[in-house]
């Protein structure tokens, strides 16, 4: 493509953490849920790990808080184009939940479910090894409902639609099964560094 | 919200559902291809918003409510890309229209509002995403604010162009009559809501339960499919009003700026 006449773009200070096609949202944290924000009391929140596991397990928030504390401090990237640098989430590593349930050797993928019915599919390998969290704090404060509170999934190395808000559970499968946006034309994996926005990218 | 239900296959589903299915199948091949689009016309809509008409000869066609991705390329190869809703109804003209707000310091919208002129070439890919699409089948209750009215206007135009009999109503919120996008185009299907200043005789105030009550008190056969588009603050407000008025959560589709 030839350059667009007269387009210069923003000053391009090198920003090593910015994936291709993304811009720095600065202090903004846009909300992009496609559904009505649910009102879920912390006491009513539950998280279940089921499917291809040795023992399906369910936690409420009080039980989840007893697991070893962990958090993510770093950057997040939304498929609509914004990236947000230096966010801090607090919760528990997803490994702690998975270890308790015991994934079977046949488990290769997972569908993450929200309490609203929203879903996202992920390879199990993207959810293990300290790369995914269940979080209930943002910047040391309770996670706001519009950002997924009481608790959400955070998988920061993938586009953020994979980081399911109002997380209800994880279903382990022996195959990939498209989730909500993935059935609506979005990429199965969503790696921002390879710009996997839409199916076929 | 307590326990999740288990169905016989062992998979579990959340106790509440929202409108999980997209309205249409999305063509991945079409969505993945960048095409050259030529700007053919610019129309001022309000002091802050203009419509940009683009010739896209190989446009695959879209449904109202879908969006596209657009990119501009600088001399050094730097690219900026954004998602924009389609404003035009689907037709056979080989043209599409976008209506863009001028965002302060907007990297892409700034170019459109200060540099762009007919004949300029840009790149687009799409149409994208089926979730917010309206094929013209179900009764549609549309709630928009500011430039959030853009994808909803595509639905209104489609409804008109095809002479569809299915009920369609639009509630559109703007700060003032001067800032109401497409002001000259609305008909009996539309109720404007003005939040700062209004024409004489029209009340000033944000979207309220009384605006929705007439539609939700007697929904059409099959009920409304509600489409909400605007800022997050508007989307939260409007979707709460819908739920409070009895609209099922799984029949509300929300598109937020960002």
Do the Cβ atoms of A1 and B34 come within 8 Å?
A: yes
Do the Cβ atoms of B242 and A36 come within 8 Å?
A: yes
Q: Estimate to the nearest angstrom the gap between the alpha carbon of A194 and the chain centroid.
A: 17
Among chain B residues, the shortest Cα distance to A117 is held by B17
A-B interface: how many C-beta pairs under 8 angstroms?
173
| B148 and B209 fall within a common domain | yes
Which chain A residues are closer than 8 Å to B123 by Cβ? Answer: 1
- The distance in angstroms from the start CA to the end CA of chain B is 29
Read off the pLDDT of residues A90-136 as tens digits, 9 standing for 90 and up: 999 999 999 999 999 999 999 999 999 999 999 999 999 999 999 99
pLDDT of residue B1: 29
- In the predicted model, what is the mean pLDDT of residues B50-76? 95
Mean pLDDT of chain A: 95
Using CA atoms, how far residue A33 sits from A88, B78, B172, B185, B254, in Å, is: 20, 30, 21, 30, 7
CB B190 within 8 A of CB B180: no
- Picking from A8, A20, A31, A34 by the largest number of B CB atoms within 10 A of its own CB, the best residue to mutate is A34
Residue B16 forms part of a structural domain? no
pLDDT at B211 over 80: yes
Q: Estimate to the nearest angstrom the gap between the alpha carbon of A110 and the chain centroid.
A: 13
Give the DSSP per-residue string, A65-102. Answer: TTSPEEEEEEEEE-TTSEEEEEEEEEEEEHHHHHHHH-
| B228 and B196 fall within a common domain | yes
Bigger pLDDT: B130 vs A115: A115
Per-domain residue ranges of chain A: 45-186
Confidence of residue A199 (pLDDT cuts 50, 70, 90): confident
Which of A32, A114, A117 is opposite residue B258, by nearest beta carbon?
A32
Cis amide prior to A181 (ω within 30 degrees): no
Residue whose structure tokens are 């499917």? A51
| B158 and B75 fall within a common domain | no
Among chain A residues, the shortest Cα distance to B66 is held by A184
Last residue of a domain, one of B128, B154, B186: B128
| B168 and B248 fall within a common domain | yes
Residue B1 forms part of a structural domain? no
Domain CATH number, residue B213 = 3.40.50.80
pLDDT of residue B9: 35
- CATH code given to domain A45-186: 3.90.420.10
pLDDT at B121 over 80: yes
Q: Which residues of B181-218 are buried (b: 16+ CB within 10 A; e: fewer)?
A: bbeeebeeebbbbbbeebeeeeeeebbeeebbeebbee
| B70 and B113 fall within a common domain | yes
pLDDT at B149 over 70: yes
Last residue of a domain, one of B79, B94, B128: B128
Query: Can you tell me the distance from the alpha carbon of A184 to that of B177, in angstroms, rounded to the nearest whole number?
Result: 36
Do the Cβ atoms of A1 and B83 come within 8 Å?
A: no
Specify the number of domains making up chain B: 2
pLDDT of residue B22: 56
Report the largest interatomic distance among the alpha carbons of chain B, rounded to a whole angstrom. Answer: 62
In this prediction the pTM is 0.90
Sequence-distant (6+) residues with CB within 8 A of B184 are none
How many CA atoms lie within 13 Å of A185's alpha carbon, on the beta-carbon side? 24
Using CA atoms, how far residue A182 sits from A59, B67, B169, B172, B180, in Å, is: 27, 16, 30, 31, 35
Domain CATH number, residue B87 = 2.40.30.10
The residues facing B38 across adjacent strands are: B55, B121
pLDDT at B145 over 90: yes
Q: Which phi and psi (to 5°) does residue A53 adopt?
A: -135, 160
Do the Cβ atoms of A200 and B32 come within 8 Å?
A: yes
pLDDT of residue B11: 42
For residue A189, how many other CB atoms are within 10 A of its CB?
Answer: 17
pLDDT of residue B173: 98
Cis amide prior to A150 (ω within 30 degrees): yes
Q: Which of residues 141-200 of B touch A (CB under 8 A)?
A: none
| B147 and B250 fall within a common domain | yes
- The helix or strand, by DSSP H or E, that contains position A11, with its residue range, turns out to be none
CB B256 within 8 A of CB A32: yes
pLDDT at B256 over 50: yes
**Which has the closest alpha carbon to A131: A91, A187, A76, A93?**
A93
CB A199 within 8 A of CB A135: no
pLDDT at B77 over 50: yes
- In the predicted model, what is the mean pLDDT of residues A195-199? 92
Mean pLDDT of chain B: 89
| B144 and B215 fall within a common domain | yes
Range of the domain at B247: 140-256
Sequence-distant (6+) residues with CB within 8 A of A133 are A70, A71, A72, A89, A91, A92, A93, A94, A153, A154
| B159 and B108 fall within a common domain | no
The total number of residues shown for chain B amounts to: 258
- The distance in angstroms from the start CA to the end CA of chain A is 18
pLDDT at B122 over 80: yes
pLDDT at B125 over 60: yes
Read off the pLDDT of residues B156-191 as tens digits, 9 standing for 90 and up: 999 999 999 999 999 999 999 999 999 999 999 999
Read off the pLDDT of residues A131-155 as tens digits, 9 standing for 90 and up: 999 999 999 999 999 999 999 999 9
pLDDT at A49 over 80: yes
Read off the pLDDT of residues B13-43 as tens digits, 9 standing for 90 and up: 444 444 445 555 556 566 678 999 999 999 9
- Phi-psi sector, B171: left (phi>0), alpha (psi -120 to 50), beta: beta
Confidence of residue A14 (pLDDT cuts 50, 70, 90): low
């Amino acid at each position: 493509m030839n350059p667009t006449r007269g387009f210069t773009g923003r000053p391009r200070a090198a920003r090593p953490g910015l994936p291709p096609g993304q811009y720095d949202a600065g202090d903004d944290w846009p909300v992009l849920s496609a559904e009505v924000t649910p009102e879920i009391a912390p006491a009513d929140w539950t998280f279940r790990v089921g499917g291809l596991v040795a023992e399906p397990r369910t936690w409420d928030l009080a039980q989840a808080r007893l697991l070893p504390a962990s958090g993510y401090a770093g950057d997040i990237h939304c498929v609509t184009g914004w990236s947000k640098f230096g966010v801090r989430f607090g919760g528990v590593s997803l490994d702690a939940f998975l270890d308790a349930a015991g994934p079977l050797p046949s488990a290769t993928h997972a569908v993450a479910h929200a309490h609203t019915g929203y879903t996202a599919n992920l390879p199990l390998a993207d959810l293990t090894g300290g790369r995914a969290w269940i979080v209930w704090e943002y910047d040391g404060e309770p996670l706001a409902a519009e950002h997924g509170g009481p608790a959400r999934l955070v998988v920061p190395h993938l586009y953020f639609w994979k980081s399911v808000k109002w997380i209800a559970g994880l279903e382990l499968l022996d195959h990939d099964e498209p989730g909500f946006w993935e059935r609506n034309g979005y990429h199965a994996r969503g790696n921002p560094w390879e710009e996997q926005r839409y199916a076929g990218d | 919200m307590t326990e999740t239900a288990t169905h016989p296959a062992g998979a579990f589903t959340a106790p509440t559902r929202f409108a999980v299915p997209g309205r249409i199948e999305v063509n991945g091949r079409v969505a993945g291809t960048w095409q050259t689009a030529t700007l053919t016309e610019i129309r001022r809509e309000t002091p802050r918003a203009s419509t940009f008409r683009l010739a896209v000869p190989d446009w695959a066609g879209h449904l109202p409510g879908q969006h596209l991705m657009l990119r501009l390329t600088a001399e050094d190869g730097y690219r900026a890309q954004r998602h924009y809703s389609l404003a035009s109804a689907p037709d056979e003209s080989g043209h599409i229209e976008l209506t863009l707000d001028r965002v302060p310091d907007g990297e892409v919208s700034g170019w459109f509002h200060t540099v762009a002129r007919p004949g300029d070439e840009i790149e687009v890919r799409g149409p994208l995403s089926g979730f917010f699409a309206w094929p013209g089948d179900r009764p549609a209750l549309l709630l928009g604010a500011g430039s959030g009215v853009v994808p909803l206007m595509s639905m209104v135009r489609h409804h008109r162009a095809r002479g569809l009999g299915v009920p369609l109503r639009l509630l559109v919120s703007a700060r003032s009559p001067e800032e109401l996008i497409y002001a000259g185009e609305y008909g009996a299907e539309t109720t404007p809501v003005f939040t700062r200043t209004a024409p004489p005789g029209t009340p000033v105030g944000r979207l309220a339960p009384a605006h929705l009550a007439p539609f939700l008190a007697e929904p059409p056969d099959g009920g409304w499919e509600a489409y909400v588009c605007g800022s997050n603050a508007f989307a939260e407000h409007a979707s709460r009003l819908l739920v409070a008025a009895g609209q099922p959560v799984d029949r509300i589709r929300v598109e937020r700026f960002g």
